[in-house]
Amino acid sequence: MSLLAVNNLGIATGGQDLVADLSFAIEPGQRLGLIGESGSGKSLTAMAITGLLPPAIVPRGSVTLDGVEVIGAPERKLNQLRGAASAVVFQEPLTALDPLMKLGNQLAEPLHRRFRREGRDLANIDAEIIALLERVSLPQPQRIANAYPYEVSGGQRQRVAIAMALACRPKLLIADEPTTALDVTTQAEILALLDSLVRDLGMALLFISHDLPVVSTIVDQVLVLRQGRMVETGPVKTVLGAPQHQYTQSLVAAARAFDSALGAS
Amino acid sequence: MTTIELDRPAPRAAISWTFVVGMTLVGIHAAIALLTLVWTPYDPSSTAGGRLEAPSLLHWAGTDRLGRDLFTQIMIGSRIALQVGIGAVGIGAAIGVTIGVLAAFATRLLDDALAAAFDILIAFPTLLLAMLVVAASDTASLWSAILALGIALSAIVGRLTRILAKRVLQMDFITAARTSGTSWPRIVVIHVLPNIWPTLMVNFALQFGLAAIAEASLSYLGLGAPPPNASWGRLLQEAQGTVYTAPFGAIAPGLALLVLVIGINLFADGLRDVGDPTRRRSR
């Protein structure tokens, strides 16, 4: 059984379809890239998977996450699913962390729930916080745990945000443009980190991005979205190497043109 | 990542001079208020002094028309002003923050209804509210004034809380908390309240000063604590008839109220900086 099965997902607001007829599945440990331009419905799809669409935006169809139907599920049931089945890393690490809470305390929140879920001794949480910060390659974890978000750099904040997602020990990690707000060097580091974490912890990955080169380095399968509809899907090499659809071709051509422009300069 | 940051000195609080002056002025009032519980220069109801005496070494602020020591009464007025401030802000905060947070979470319809209720209550004359409370409790007392002011303040606090909480709820870290399975009540406790608290605290301090002034107005009109433990407003009212012959009777309680409210406003100003971690840690 698939870890995540999306069947004929539609997302609409005020009678207008934002996403329609979207179907895909992610098996345990599999990595899928969701590609599309701004407004193509990538992030809405991620929100629908975790049952976190705003009240005015209504989903239809079916989303089964870890065997639980998400659409129409009560908040209580969703809260048990969130964290345990899926966790999300967001685009902007500054706003995704509470500015008034020390980073260690923020990490303690999901850890607390997981420890209780797994029946582990809550006294070990402090040690686990440090271990998690080390796991995402943050130097001086003790100092980071005692710092407020504004006291660490953007790349470090994103590492903390990833550590928070890991704290849940999810089966599916959803990364919503996790490198877009970072500079290119940091981007590469974060991608390498995500890659190794997903491999080592055996998580499945749903990687959302508009950036083809970024996506192609980290996932095996891609799905191209345009205006809320699937354009093309398949293994990365096939879709990006020999795109069938005109839209995908134009995306690939654009990325190539950018590369050659860089090479020429 | 550099190691230089490790060596920086331990963070120190950035405390402004306004905060220090404000806290001193409020502190003096608080100390006097506490002192009246155990000691006053004279018995507040003793009429041993001469009538309408000017300030002297025996009577620092003179005496009223019954020969009671005015300084003693002003000291007791301090206690009453602080009691009213703490009581009214406490009631206003308890009701206002609770309903304000609920409104931020409520459905559209209930939220609109609560917002309208806040606006109506703010528009409702505090004086009329105080009269209704007095009528309902049979007699004008310190507690009827505190209750009336508390209810009036709760609308202001509620409206502010609702707006602040709504703004925080739209932030990314709330969504992030929800994706990891944090429940709504937990989000309110660990994210919403701490993020709106600094702004609310500044507002509470300002409301405290306004409550002290409002109580003086209520007492002036006879809707507050009755003598001999009278508030500054009552002292002003009693001094009104003799203001030309003995102006100290009006000046002294007025001055006490002025100092308290200035102190509170300076304190509130400094509080703003203390609540902000980016300023708290900067030197």
Residue B112 lies in a domain: yes
- How buried is B63 (Cβ within 10 angstroms: 0-12 exposed, 13-18 middle, 19+ buried)? buried
Sorting pLDDT into bands at 50, 70 and 90, what band is B13? low
pLDDT per residue over B201-218, tens digit each?
Answer: 999 999 999 999 998 998
Task: Select from A90, A94, A100, A115 the residue whose CB has the most chain B CBs within 10 Å, as the one to mutate to test that interface.
Answer: A100
Domain count, chain A: 1
Residue B6 lies in a domain: no
Q: Is B55 left (phi over 0), alpha (psi -120 to 50) or beta?
A: beta
Q: CB of B1 within 8 Å of any CB in chain A?
A: yes
Contact between A102 and A148 under an 8 Å Cβ cutoff? The reply is yes
Run of H or E including A192: helix A184-201
Sorting pLDDT into bands at 50, 70 and 90, what band is B3? very low
Residue B8 lies in a domain: no
List A62's β-bridge partners, or say none.
A7
Domain count, chain B: 1
Task: Select from B169, B180, B195 the residue whose CB has the most chain A CBs within 10 Å, as the one to mutate to test that interface.
Answer: B180
pLDDT at A82: 93
Sorting pLDDT into bands at 50, 70 and 90, what band is A129? very high
- Residues from chain B that touch A74, judged by Cβ atoms under 8 A, are none
Residue B45's closest CA among B67, B77, B75? B67
pLDDT at B56: 80
Nearest CA in chain B to A50: B179
Map tokens 């007829």 to a residue: A21
DSSP letter (8 states) at residue B63 = B
Kindly report the CATH number assigned to the domain that includes residue A57. 3.40.50.300
pLDDT per residue over B100-155, tens digit each?
Answer: 999 999 888 999 999 999 999 999 988 888 888 888 887 778 888 899 999 999 99
At residue A144, the 3 state secondary structure works out as: helix
Q: CB of B175 within 8 Å of any CB in chain A?
A: yes
Residue A216, pLDDT above cutoff 80: yes
At residue B215, the 3 state secondary structure works out as: helix
Task: Give the structural domain span for B231.
Answer: 14-39+61-280
**In whole angstroms, what is the distance from residue A139 CA to residue A152 CA?**
11
Kindly report the CATH number assigned to the domain that includes residue B106. 1.10.3720.10
Task: Give the structural domain span for A93.
Answer: 4-264
Residue B202 lies in a domain: yes
Q: Global pTM?
A: 0.84
Output B69 or B207, whichever has higher pLDDT: B207
CB-nearest to B277 from A50, A100, A168 is: A100
CB-nearest to B180 from A83, A97, A156 is: A83
Residue B232, pLDDT above cutoff 80: yes
Residue B183 lies in a domain: yes
ipTM metric: 0.87
